[in-house]
Amino acid sequence: MAYLLGVVLFALAILVSVSLHEAGHMLTAKAFGMKVTRYFVGFGPTLWSFRRGETEYGVKGIPLGGFCKIVGMTPQDDDVDPADEHRAMWRYPVWKRTIVMSAGSITHFALALVATWIIAVSAGLPNPDFPSTDAEMRQEPAVIGLADCVVPGSTLRACAAGDPASPAAQANLRDGDRITSLNGTPINNYGDLLVALRATKPGDTATIGYVRDGQPATTQAVLAETQRPPLDDPEGQVGPVAALGVGLQFTTPTRVEYGPLEAFGATGRFTGDMAVGTYEAMKRIPQKVPALWTAITGGERDVDTPISVVGASRLGGEAVENNAWLVFFMLFVSLNFFIGVFNLLPLLPLDGGHIAIAWFERARSWVYARLRRPDPGRVDYLKLMPITYAVILIGGVFTLLTITADVVNPITLFSR
């Protein structure tokens, strides 16, 4: 029940975000004097509507977005009443049209920023000093977390029957112990521990110095065997190495809470990191199409593949089911930011395509004026329809792929 509630709540949050996106277009258009004839939440048959002034507001039967109708978005619109010609959107200065067309994405960014600030002061944002690379992790103190077993092969998987027990657990080491020496070799950080273990052999008995609750102690463990590549060449040939059956337990906090004023700076830094991450993720989208097809046809789902609104809602359901509300709201933040960026891509029919054309017209007119040539006028959108249809087709196919993958082989964050 909690899972279904989470799915519905996240889907509702997305619907509200998209509705506010369209409201951003509508309110800025009205502020500049453009005529907005319709504002609806959803698509399909009208369930309920009312008229206020010159605009009809309402709700339609398919809750998959929303729209607003601004009169005369392009010179080729043929449904403009002669009395409204002076209010047609395409007649307004390019900067006003830019504000109107970008207002939707700005709304998504505003939602993401406000939610991020609230998270920063209430639950904390990811610690920017938390180790994120192998080199940084190896500089962490050798505070250990016990594994349940040692997996003999090089494949990361859950423990199975027959896997050797963790030597560290058999030696009565505990989570949170800090290793200080191995066979007399001082251990200053986790990297030192890895190097010292590689200097031993599977089956050797290792003498381990450690600190627990501030008290030093020693123990002995018979090292197990696993398969790993060389430390200095992660892509190198895998070979047998000694294993203690431990992992790194981070002492650096994963999240940092901020005061109301500090949270503004933290929100800005987090948003900057998210912008870089979004850019990198969008660059990888074409590379992930084969992985989506693999997931649909029975292969393992790559957690780095794109997800649809369906997949995001399912993750939201998992978050609520596991009482992980922070995950729920972080999903909301990242999705809004991604939609805001994606919608500004200079491709029709996205808002960014309309903005790009508006500024192209402005630049072209400026160049022609300097050359003392007649203004070439507006871009003919009808000539761009083949490109627009191609973008819609590609986007539709990609959306269908992600939705199908999210239905038949979804990404999961929690064990159910």
Which domains does the chain show, CATH number per domain? 98-128+257-416 (no CATH), 134-248 (2.30.42.10)
pLDDT of the residue at 263: 94
Q: What share of the chain is helix, strand, coil (3-state, %, to 5)?
A: 50, 20, 35
Beta bridge partners of 255: 126
Could you give phi then psi for residue 114, rounded to 5 degrees?
A: -65, -45
Own/partner pairs, 37-43, CB within 8 angstroms, 24+ separation: 37/69, 37/70, 37/71, 38/67, 38/68, 38/69, 39/66, 39/67, 39/68, 39/69, 40/66, 40/67, 40/68, 41/15, 41/66, 42/66, 43/67
Pairing outcome for strands 239-243 and 224-228 = antiparallel
- Residue 403: name the closest of 35, 64, 43 by CA: 64
pLDDT of the residue at 209: 94
pLDDT digits (tens, 9 = 90+) for 191-233: 999 999 999 999 999 999 999 999 999 999 999 888 888 888 8
**22 belongs to the catalytic site:** yes
pLDDT of the residue at 30: 96
Under-50 pLDDT residues of the chain: none
Distances (CA, A) of 167 to 142, 183, 202, 205: 16, 15, 11, 10
Return the amino acid letter for 102: S
d(CA 263, CA 265): 5
d(CA 254, CA 271): 17
Structure token digits, residue 208: 């381990």
Q: Which of 22, 280, 300, 321 is catalytic?
A: 22
d(CA 414, CA 315): 9
CA torsion sign for 185, 186, 192, 193 is positive
d(CA 107, CA 115): 12
Q: Are 160 and 236 in contact (CB under 8 A)?
A: no
pTM above 0.85, yes or no: no
The H or E element that residue 67 is part of is strand 55-70
Structure token digits, residue 13: 């949050």
Structure token digits, residue 133: 């690379």
Distances (CA, A) of 178 to 246, 248, 251, 348: 11, 10, 10, 57
3-state secondary structure of 311: helix
